[in-house]
Structure 1
Amino acid sequence: MSKTQPSAQPSEPPIPAGTSTVDLTVVVPAFNEEDRLAPTLRAIREHLGTLEPLRWELLVVDDGSTDGTAAITEAAAADEPRIRLLRTPANRGKGHAVRTGVLASLGRRVLVTDADLATPIEELAVLQRHVDAGATAAVGSRALPESRIAVRQHALRELMGRLGARLIRAAAVPGIRDTQCGFKLFDGDKVRTAFAGSRLDGWSYDVEILRFFHQRDWEVAEVPVSWAHQPGSKVRPLAYPRVLADLLRIRLRTVSPVRLAAPALFLLFSFFLYGGLWGALDTGYLVDSGSDQRQWEWFFAVTADNVAHLRNPLFTELQNFPLGVNLMANTAMLGLSVPLAPVTLAFGAHVTWAIVLTGGLAATACAWYWLIARRFVRSRWAAALGGGFCAFAPPMISHGNAHPNFAVLFMMPLIIDRMLRLCENRRPTRDAVVLGLFLAYQIFLGEEALLLAVTGFALFALGYAIAAPDVAKAVAAPLLRGLGIAALVSVPLVIFPVAWQFYGPQSYHSVLHGQVGNNPMAMLEFATRSLAGDDKIAASLSLNRTEENAFFGWPLVVVAVAVVVHLRDQPRVRALGFTALGAAVLSLGQNIPLLGTDKTLPGPWRLVAKMPFFESVIESRTAMVCAPALGILLALACDRLAVRRLRSERESSRRLLGWAALAVAVLPLLPTPYRTVERTPVPAFFADGSWREYVRPGHSLVPVPVPSPTETAALGWQVDAGLAFSFPGGYFNGPWGPERIGIYGPQPRFTSDLLNKVRESGKVPDIGAQQRRQFGWDIDFWRADAFVLTPQDNQAPLREALTRLSGKEPRRVADSWVWDVRERS
């Protein structure tokens, strides 16, 4: 196979459309084929002779052969004037030869067949039936169940062919299993148009031509044919890298600007939002993240450390010493923290934190953009609008402050697409296996997000069943069967980590948040980080700035209702509207307040509030399901406005009104950049390594007050110290009480409670013999070597309280006070 020659010119000018003078042209590319060309020409000629009164011609393109190929063709042409020889001065490749023959053809239809007749010429009738039925091309296939393989090729070549076909389908020609079988029938005018603009000269030319047909929505039928491997193939192993290069050229040449622009814009916008974080990677801290940024950076650091030292990534004793922390039962996002461990080890957890947030939002937008373009709309800009909204909607931006497990959702569109493929029942087993792998991976990104996604898909399925019961009934069986296979794939992959999560050390059964439903007005107002947002109004309607789980704004709600009404003839639109409405109502919680009164109505969340898994969900988060439903509705509305032809001035006014409505709905929701501040410096006691003199292996260092969900500075000190010491307490989810109910932070102990009260009040309580005994028990339990009081508010009363408890004066080390209690522990 020769290299691509962009400047190559066809041997003859293309025939103008509509000037075909024969019914069928057969094009045979030939390079050094003297051993098998004569019987091939005889077989083709004899078969075409049986199809009279078919008018035909047979073009043999000699691609610079050095043997008797040309002589054999000339001899056949002397006997049959409908056979013509076309010659190229040098070997340019199969693609160039076929292009030369096609552009010189006169037929209303053009058959391209290899000189070895691996597919018998009699299979022409099979292809003709599909073109007669309306297809513009019919390609012979060896990959369909009905295909008949008489003689197989070498196993290695067959494997390489299958891998190549998969790459081709993924990179260039979706939907066609076998593009490389050399037996294809085309509409003559259309294939001449395609080859007039083609550039590939190698044997991957088929991909370029079929992609040309695909992009113009010209129907291509894949037809099972008989095929037998013939010795003497011209395709060599070194041709495969060249084919990959050709595929890359195809992709780069045919990718529309918006396909590249949309992902680039998503990434740039993510960098814009987190610009303050990237501008001060070492010192920047997201203002509205509370304690969560420290916790997440700690998760990334601990996971990387476990990976580097080949320790169990599901558990650590660095916090909550000596009981430890069940990392699988916390939001460690092992699906990202493990593969990003090299980044964390090389550059620090703060860099990983910035990458996960910035790249995660952009990847989520790209995934939704891909799904919407593939499944819902024709306009790429409409898909970009929908994908952007799904990723940058107010609830996602709120969680982007501190909860990447709810903001980084790039797997959800991929999971949804596989479920929709199961409904189509084309390749159910493969799609089910892939879905199982996707589900398993998502479990390591975020289980609660997956649970919410399943809830949303269930609402959509119910809505679609109501809107189109016949369709729903038809797809139910393959969908359920596929889900069963997916479960068989995913369960073995996650059963041990999930069992560790629920039954391993420091596991718990549920986290009780209380009733935290959305206020109905939260659906209509604007979020803190929205362009039209008011932080005071948002604060009055939400739990905190990381839990603004609705705030879609009244203009978008109005537009969404209008879109559902206007496009109500489409079952998918009614199902999307039902999904958004159902999720919004569920998010209101168990008791829905009646605005303007102190009364409530029972909410449908009561139906699931005590179900396994749902009992740990903050119900207001269910409103996040609305985001993709609304995003797809926006994309459908934009697509209708973008592609619908105008027939009157009245329709022009309606379109202008539609664009204005979309702008009014979306522009107020544009997110503003996240605010950052400079994080508090690490105390010198930890920064300069002074702590090393006070902690023995297997013992702990106790910061004062004891770390808790509200006192998380010690997590950063520990990371800065290379995770070389453990401490009691911390910020994590763990068990409490005999029923192992999930709580935030450690189980309360006497010393941690007393020191926290002193920190809050600035007052030292009475401390006697009983209190000192309890303090001693805590030292023993924590295996504490030292207590460290760093500079902070109420430092003096904290110092006095700890001095009374320990019965000894502290030592001043660097900028901190240290109580050495090693003689007791």
Structure 2
Amino acid sequence: MSAAPDTGLPGPKAPGGVGPGLSVVVPAYNEEARLRPTLDAVRAHLLADPGRWGEWEVIVVDDGSTDGTARVAREAADADPRIRVVTGTVNRGKGYALRQGVLASRGRQVLLSDADLATPIDELDHLHQRLAAEGAGAAIGSRALPQSRIEVHQRWVREFLGRMGNRLIRLVAVPGIRDTQCGFKLFDGDRARAAFADSRLDGWGIDVEILRYFRRAGWPVTEVPVRWSHIPGSKVGPPAYAGVLVELVRLRTRALRRTDLLVAGLFLLAAFALYRGLWADLDRGYLADSGQDQNQWEWFFAVTADNVAHLRNPLFTTFQGAPDGVNLMGNTVMLGVSVPLTPLTLLCGPTVTWALVLTLGLAATAASWYWLFARRLVSHRGAAALGAAFTAFAPPMISHGNAHPNFLLLFMIPLIIDRALRLCEGRDVVRDGVLLGLFAAYQVFLGEEPLLLAAMGMLLFALAYALVRRDVARRALRPLLSGLGIALVTCLPIVAFPLGWQFFGPGSYSNVLHADNTGNGPRAFLEFAGRSLLGSDERADLFAMNRTEQNAFFGWPLVSLSVAIVIRLWRQSLVRALAVTAVAAALLSLGERVRLPYTDIVVPGPWRALAEAPLFEAVIESRVALICVPALGILLALTADRLLLTGDRPLRAAGLTAIALALLPVLPTPYPVRERPEVPAFIAQDLYRPYLARGESLVTVPLPSPAGADALHWQSSTGFGFSLAGGYYVGPWGPDRLGIYGASPTHTSNLLTDVGHTGRIPDIGPALQEQARLDLKSWHAGAVILPPQHNERALRTTLTVLLSDPGVRVGGVWVWDLPESR
């Protein structure tokens, strides 16, 4: 055997006779006519330069052919013992055949070549040169590079569909590689055998599966331009690309571990257990601590479904706040779920949608955090499950689970965090930037305030991590900024019009008026929430705005454990950054003014610096403490991971016991449910219709407001046959268009509210009667109704004098017809 020429490239000679230097694997199914010319061409090329290729072998895999393919292969093997035949009894697919051939190979390099030799065998030289020169794990022939030559084209329709299929595969599976499906590939032999041994697909998708394996392993893959010709009778066509996508979906499904499915199932079971009272009575069940928010949210789901069903603008409605209407984009209608769930809402009613969004939202959020923690944070699935369970079921989350699904349905936040981390790695900035932009746009339609808080938390963490790891920050800065720019360009066209409508459209407002001090008290972090195992409503009510805003309440055992974890793991850069993030968020959540515990001293709070900034001016500052939730969840997951993987059994037992004792007091308890009042027959039986002309509104007494919004339930549960004056929503008030909860108050609405609260009948003269007439006219009122309620007699007397009409009893309510306004 002649010596190899001195080319400067390492040749594929086998060391010490252990095996051949090159293995050529040719899968064949019903290739009787084409196989022998292909084998002759391969053999001639390898024999033409024996010094270069050294010992070689050709492995033909007959994939259960029904023609003479196996006979042709055996005849070639008889003529040259370097040709081996692997025969299958049934057709299993190209992927199965390639796997059998590669695993049977012994070469230092392995070439895959289709039996039709659409890529000529002499292109092997180019692949070999690139493989050796770049030190790659694989050199794959590519028809998509500018230097490639397509010598015989397919029909244009077939070629177009093939290109579209290839682009879709690249997008969802192997971005950065232009041609995944060309059958001409040269691999490092050992790496190829490792990858194919791990493969599971039997069809066309194995090309993608192998390339994904190489990418995960960090083995470089280089694309090489080749000559290619369409061969009549080729089995690769547009349906093959669809088959690849189907196989990839199946692969992803099979990749789920049973543990992952079990954890997701437990999350769903836990969420259902918390809301079991609501599910037990969907007709009359009402979350007791939700205030009027359940009425409001069911109305949001119902009005969105009604708008979609009637092809109306989903960003606006006049069914509340008549006649001015409500800017729905300026309210948390969660179009990202309310629109897709329109069929369910129309078929089953908004209460079913409400219960489903709460239950599945809580479980989906937990599963998403679990995915992120298992993917990036810890090795032990149990540790990931523990951290995710706390992050989703922490006391602040459970508090918002009473009434705020926009703060419960946070499954996009872990996906956004993961995509931002990918940008820092800089592997595929364009793709990751586009996906980040799409994820952020979708989150806008789930909840803007959670997205803002998530961005705050990520920024605090990034700054803290950059301080402790400047080297990592320098490497990540450029791809991160580039990716964020791409994300912004992707996101803005999607959200520009809805956000423009929100801030400048009808019913828009400039700011939201909250209470004077909506920050957390310092002691709130050490207390237990009302829905925690060791908490009580009476105690928690002392430290929170209401039962839906218990945004701290982690409890002193968990806070103490977290401090101990930080001290123990302080050397880890991640832990230091998390500690800084959590402390900064906790301080910001104290608000503009902080009362020092056990004193009357009030000092300026850190939130003062942001209180008047755009966007932040509408944030309830106590909610900034929600940033602490994932930070504590990560600390718990890191600690549990170290404990579960340690060989020190006493340490593991002591550590896990400490975690259990810290978490036990804050375990969530089921949400209490009360019975909702029935809808009056006047509404349920459509008795109101003769009283309302087109364009007229119904005035309920008192008018619906954040203090009482049962009228929204009457409306949403009976199909929006009328509009309401007043309402429970965020809308503009005054010349500065400040955002307030509910419609702008009037003299008449205030008067009726006062009577309803106190039972005292005021002195009503001509001035108040005239004011009532003007207010009713401004509401386009067609009728006034008084449903049964506390202080009903005082309210009826007031209305009788105010309207100079005793009213009539119809369908369980008192009715005052207003024909003069028509």
TM-score (norm 2): 0.90
Residue 24 of structure 2 corresponds to 26
How far apart, in 2, do the equivalents of 1:507 and 1:435 lie?
28
How far apart, in 2, do the equivalents of 1:252 and 1:502 lie?
42
How far apart, in 2, do the equivalents of 1:445 and 1:92 lie?
45
Residue 540 of structure 1 corresponds to 542
How far apart, in 1, do the equivalents of 2:211 and 2:479 lie?
30
Residue 125 of structure 1 corresponds to 128
CA shift at 1:410, angstroms? 1.4
Residue 14 of structure 1 corresponds to none
How is 1:631-642 mapped onto 2 (pairs within 5 angstroms)? 631-642=633-644
Q: Is the 8 A contact 1:386 1:632 kept in 2?
A: yes
Q: Is the 8 A contact 1:127 1:140 kept in 2?
A: no
Q: Is the 8 A contact 1:40 1:117 kept in 2?
A: no
How far apart, in 1, do the equivalents of 2:366 and 2:160 lie?
36
Q: What's the secondary structure of 1:50's corresponding residue?
A: helix
**Does residue 1:724 correspond to 2:726, yes or no?**
no
How far apart, in 2, do the equivalents of 1:260 and 1:126 lie?
46
With over 3 angstroms needed to count, the CA separation of the structure-2 counterparts of 1:204 and 1:747, relative to structure 1, is: closer
How far apart, in 2, do the equivalents of 1:784 and 1:674 lie?
39
* Identity among equivalent pairs (%): 55
With over 3 angstroms needed to count, the CA separation of the structure-2 counterparts of 1:124 and 1:783, relative to structure 1, is: closer
How far apart, in 2, do the equivalents of 1:319 and 1:436 lie?
33
**Does residue 1:330 correspond to 2:331, yes or no?**
yes
Per-residue deviation, residues 563-619 of structure 1 (Å, max 9, x unmatched): 333333432332222111111111111222222211133221111111111111110
Of stretches 720-729 and 659-668 in structure 1, the one that deviates more from structure 2 is 659-668
Q: What's the secondary structure of 1:701's corresponding residue?
A: strand
CA shift at 1:400, angstroms? 0.8
How far apart, in 2, do the equivalents of 1:582 and 1:126 lie?
55
Residue 93 of structure 1 corresponds to 93
Of stretches 118-127 and 669-678 in structure 1, the one that deviates more from structure 2 is 118-127
With over 3 angstroms needed to count, the CA separation of the structure-2 counterparts of 1:390 and 1:237, relative to structure 1, is: same
Q: What's the secondary structure of 1:742's corresponding residue?
A: strand
Residue 12 of structure 2 corresponds to none
Pick aligned residue for 1:804 from 796, 801, 811: 801
How far apart, in 2, do the equivalents of 1:20 and 1:605 lie?
71
How far apart, in 2, do the equivalents of 1:528 and 1:667 lie?
14
Q: Is the 8 A contact 2:289 2:548 kept in 1?
A: yes
Per-residue deviation, residues 726-767 of structure 1 (Å, max 9, x unmatched): 121111111111111111112221111111111111111111
Q: Is the 8 A contact 1:38 1:72 kept in 2?
A: no
With over 3 angstroms needed to count, the CA separation of the structure-2 counterparts of 1:610 and 1:70, relative to structure 1, is: same
With over 3 angstroms needed to count, the CA separation of the structure-2 counterparts of 1:770 and 1:478, relative to structure 1, is: same
How far apart, in 2, do the equivalents of 1:176 and 1:532 lie?
55
CA shift at 1:809, angstroms? 1.5
Paired AA for residue 462 in structure 1:
L
CA shift at 1:59, angstroms? 2.0
Residue 443 of structure 2 corresponds to 442
- How many residues get paired? 796
With over 3 angstroms needed to count, the CA separation of the structure-2 counterparts of 1:212 and 1:616, relative to structure 1, is: closer
Residue 564 of structure 1 corresponds to 566
Q: Is the 8 A contact 2:36 2:72 kept in 1?
A: no
Paired AA for residue 60 in structure 2:
V
Residue 518 of structure 1 corresponds to 520
Gap regions ≥5 residues in structure 1: 1-17
CA shift at 1:627, angstroms? 1.0
CA shift at 1:171, angstroms? 7.8
Of stretches 775-784 and 224-233 in structure 1, the one that deviates more from structure 2 is 224-233
Q: Is the 8 A contact 1:139 1:181 kept in 2?
A: no
**Does residue 1:354 correspond to 2:351, yes or no?**
no
Q: What's the secondary structure of 1:507's corresponding residue?
A: coil
RMSD: 3.0
Per-residue deviation, residues 626-663 of structure 1 (Å, max 9, x unmatched): 1112212222222223335x2xxxx3322222222222
How far apart, in 1, do the equivalents of 2:720 and 2:694 lie?
12
How far apart, in 1, do the equivalents of 2:523 and 2:599 lie?
14
Q: Is the 8 A contact 1:172 1:251 kept in 2?
A: no
Q: Is the 8 A contact 1:127 1:138 kept in 2?
A: no
CA shift at 1:562, angstroms? 3.1
Residue 388 of structure 1 corresponds to 389
With over 3 angstroms needed to count, the CA separation of the structure-2 counterparts of 1:93 and 1:739, relative to structure 1, is: closer
TM-score (norm 1): 0.89
Paired AA for residue 640 in structure 2:
C
Paired AA for residue 229 in structure 1:
W
Paired AA for residue 310 in structure 2:
H
Q: Is the 8 A contact 2:143 2:150 kept in 1?
A: no
CA shift at 1:138, angstroms? 2.9
Of stretches 152-161 and 810-819 in structure 1, the one that deviates more from structure 2 is 152-161
Q: Is the 8 A contact 1:171 1:251 kept in 2?
A: no
Q: What's the secondary structure of 1:285's corresponding residue?
A: strand
With over 3 angstroms needed to count, the CA separation of the structure-2 counterparts of 1:800 and 1:389, relative to structure 1, is: same
CA shift at 1:429, angstroms? 2.0
Gap regions ≥5 residues in structure 2: 1-15
How far apart, in 2, do the equivalents of 1:411 and 1:370 lie?
12
How far apart, in 1, do the equivalents of 2:372 and 2:159 lie?
32
Q: Is the 8 A contact 1:786 1:821 kept in 2?
A: yes
How far apart, in 1, do the equivalents of 2:176 and 2:260 lie?
20
Residue 626 of structure 2 corresponds to 624
With over 3 angstroms needed to count, the CA separation of the structure-2 counterparts of 1:512 and 1:245, relative to structure 1, is: closer
Q: Is the 8 A contact 1:285 1:679 kept in 2?
A: yes
**Does residue 1:574 correspond to 2:576, yes or no?**
yes
With over 3 angstroms needed to count, the CA separation of the structure-2 counterparts of 1:47 and 1:629, relative to structure 1, is: farther
Q: What's the secondary structure of 1:476's corresponding residue?
A: helix
How far apart, in 1, do the equivalents of 2:159 and 2:548 lie?
54
Paired AA for residue 807 in structure 1:
S
How is 1:784-795 mapped onto 2 (pairs within 5 angstroms)? 784-795=781-792
With over 3 angstroms needed to count, the CA separation of the structure-2 counterparts of 1:63 and 1:799, relative to structure 1, is: closer
How far apart, in 1, do the equivalents of 2:464 and 2:159 lie?
45
CA shift at 1:664, angstroms? 2.2
How is 1:271-420 mapped onto 2 (pairs within 5 angstroms)? 271-420=272-421
With over 3 angstroms needed to count, the CA separation of the structure-2 counterparts of 1:172 and 1:481, relative to structure 1, is: closer
How far apart, in 2, do the equivalents of 1:48 and 1:665 lie?
72
CA shift at 1:667, angstroms? 3.0
Q: What's the secondary structure of 1:518's corresponding residue?
A: coil
With over 3 angstroms needed to count, the CA separation of the structure-2 counterparts of 1:658 and 1:677, relative to structure 1, is: same
Q: What's the secondary structure of 1:432's corresponding residue?
A: helix
Residue 226 of structure 2 corresponds to 227
Q: What's the secondary structure of 1:289's corresponding residue?
A: coil
How is 1:675-686 mapped onto 2 (pairs within 5 angstroms)? 675-686=672-683
How is 1:395-544 mapped onto 2 (pairs within 5 angstroms)? 395-513=396-514, 514-544=516-546
Q: Is the 8 A contact 1:139 1:183 kept in 2?
A: no
With over 3 angstroms needed to count, the CA separation of the structure-2 counterparts of 1:476 and 1:691, relative to structure 1, is: same
How far apart, in 1, do the equivalents of 2:194 and 2:421 lie?
35
How far apart, in 2, do the equivalents of 1:482 and 1:212 lie?
25
How far apart, in 1, do the equivalents of 2:795 and 2:95 lie?
82
Residue 56 of structure 1 corresponds to 56
How far apart, in 1, do the equivalents of 2:447 and 2:650 lie?
46
Q: What's the secondary structure of 1:791's corresponding residue?
A: coil
Residue 658 of structure 2 corresponds to 661
How far apart, in 1, do the equivalents of 2:691 and 2:736 lie?
37
